[in-house]
């Protein structure tokens, strides 16, 4: 699992957007959000007919915790809103290569 690119911006509580590459697939639409307890990662989502947002990507608790740590570390290491190279201290998290879909 690698962060493909991150755009650091300030849109209310949204602090940035990024894409995630997992086993050759790129998942777009992750957000870094400023919450009550600090920064966290919001999963990609879509608005439904009732103007509510529903997640379109799910993961288990351990993967979510690893993704939060990796994305927040990456966020703190980039300089601007442009695509930045991957910081050297961001580790690659190995995931199961046999994705069941």
Closest CA to 19 of 43, 54, 47: 43
How confident is the prediction along the chain (101 residues), in pLDDT tens digits per residue? 888 888 888 888 989 999 999 888 999 999 999 999 999 999 999 999 999 988 888 889 998 999 999 999 999 988 644 444 444 444 555 555 555 54
Q: Is 20 helix (H, G, I), strand (E, B) or coil?
A: strand
Q: Considering the entire predicted model, what is its pTM?
A: 0.70
For domain 2-77, give the fold.
Answer: Arylsulfatase, C-terminal domain (3.30.1120)
CA–CA distance, 34 with 26 (Å, rounded to integer): 24
| Neighbouring C-beta atoms of residue 86, cutoff 10 Å | 15
């Amino acid at each position: 699992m690698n962060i493909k690119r991150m755009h650091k911006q300030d849109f209310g509580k949204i602090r940035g957007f990024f894409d995630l590459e997992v086993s050759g697939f790129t998942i777009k639409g992750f957000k870094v959000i400023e919450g009550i307890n600090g920064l966290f990662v919001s999963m990609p989502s879509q608005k439904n007919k009732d103007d509510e947002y529903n997640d379109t990507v799910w993961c288990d608790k351990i993967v979510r915790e690893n993704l939060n740590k990796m994305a927040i570390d990456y966020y703190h290491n980039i300089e601007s809103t442009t695509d930045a190279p991957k910081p050297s201290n961001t580790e690659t998290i190995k995931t199961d290569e046999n994705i069941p879909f």
